[in-house]
């Protein structure tokens, strides 16, 4: 694991955008695994800036997203389909057919999971961007998820529902289930970048970096990946007890 400690959220976003831009410039037809949540929003803004300046093009890029809530229409503002359009896709020149996000709608969710695994087989990731749940989850792989998991339906934990309720006008509206890419597929990406900022992530960062590799902390699996970079700000790094590289 390479650990970069950033001064703050903006600095974290700048470092991440620089690394992702490098991947896109070196391989204009790269497949990017993308994440939702507050953590990557600043990074997406900077990628949009680079696109507007003519530094990046997304015309040959393919994307696969980590997860989606069950039961939210794609045009629901809380859905991850909406989030990705709003925060990235509608601002860059990515063809619609190159975008892939799990489908949490319909009566055959298991079938949707299988279909998504077929997509993941077809689009091996050059880079996977991740956020970090306060309980150590990656994607929506909650503690206890087998490291060998593929795309599956998740019953969200109380902690995750509570954490994510800040984004809903009524906490009761937070879906109780989601579909997520499994840990096995997340780890297949050539390169992984995980973002975490703020004190609320400090315990999870500590467990991910300094704890055992255990399914009780899904993000700890990154200790086993050969090209995982954690970009975390000082607050998120505040419980780490070793001296790590800073930028």
Active-site residue set:
67, 135, 137, 142
Shortest distance, position 175 Cβ to ligand GLP, whole Å: 11
Residue nearer to ligand GLP on the CB measure, 10 or 57 = 10
Shortest distance, position 82 Cβ to ligand GLP, whole Å: 14
Are 202 and 239 contacting, i.e. CB atoms less than 8 angstroms apart? Answer: yes
Shortest distance, position 28 Cβ to ligand GLP, whole Å: 26
Shortest distance, position 84 Cβ to ligand GLP, whole Å: 12
Residue nearer to ligand GLP on the CB measure, 79 or 164 = 164
Q: List interacting residues with ligand GLP (CB under 6 A).
A: 35-39, 66-67, 131-133, 139-140, 160, 164
| Separation in Å, CA 148 to CA 62, 130, 222 | 24, 18, 13
Give Cβ neighbours of residue 72 (< 8 Å, ≥ 6 apart): 78, 79, 104, 105, 175
According to DSSP, the β-strands at 177-180 and 228-233 are unpaired
Six token digits for residue 24: 């896109």
Q: C-alpha angle 20/25/26, rounded to 5°?
A: 100
Nearest CA among 201, 193, 184, 213 for reference residue 239: 201
């Amino acid at each position: 694991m390479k650990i970069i400690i950033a001064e703050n959220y903006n600095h974290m976003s700048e470092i991440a955008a620089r690394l992702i831009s490098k991947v896109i410039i070196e391989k204009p037809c790269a497949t990017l695994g993308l994440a939702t949540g507050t953590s990557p929003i600043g990074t997406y803004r900077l990628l949009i800036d680079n696109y507007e300046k003519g530094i990046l093009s997304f015309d040959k890029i393919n994307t696969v997203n980590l997860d989606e809530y069950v039961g939210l229409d794609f045009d629901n503002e809380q859905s991850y389909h909406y989030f990705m359009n709003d925060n990235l896709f509608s601002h860059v020149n990515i063809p619609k057919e190159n975008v892939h996000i799990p489908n949490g709608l319909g009566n055959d969710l298991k079938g949707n999971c299988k279909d998504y695994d077929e997509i993941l087989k077809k689009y091996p990731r050059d880079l996977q961007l991740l956020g970090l749940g306060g309980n150590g989850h990656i994607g929506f792989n909650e503690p206890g998820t087998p490291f060998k998991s593929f795309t599956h339906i998740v019953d969200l934990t109380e902690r995750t529902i509570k954490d994510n309720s800040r984004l809903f006008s009524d906490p009761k509206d937070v879906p109780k289930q989601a579909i997520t890419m499994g840990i096995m597929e997340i780890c297949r990406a050539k390169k992984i970048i995980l973002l975490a900022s703020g004190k609320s992530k400090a315990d999870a960062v500590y467990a991910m970096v300094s704890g055992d590799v255990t399914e009780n902390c899904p993000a700890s699996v990154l200790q086993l990946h050969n090209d995982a970079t954690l970009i975390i700000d000082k607050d998120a790094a505040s419980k780490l007890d070793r001296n790590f590289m800073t930028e």
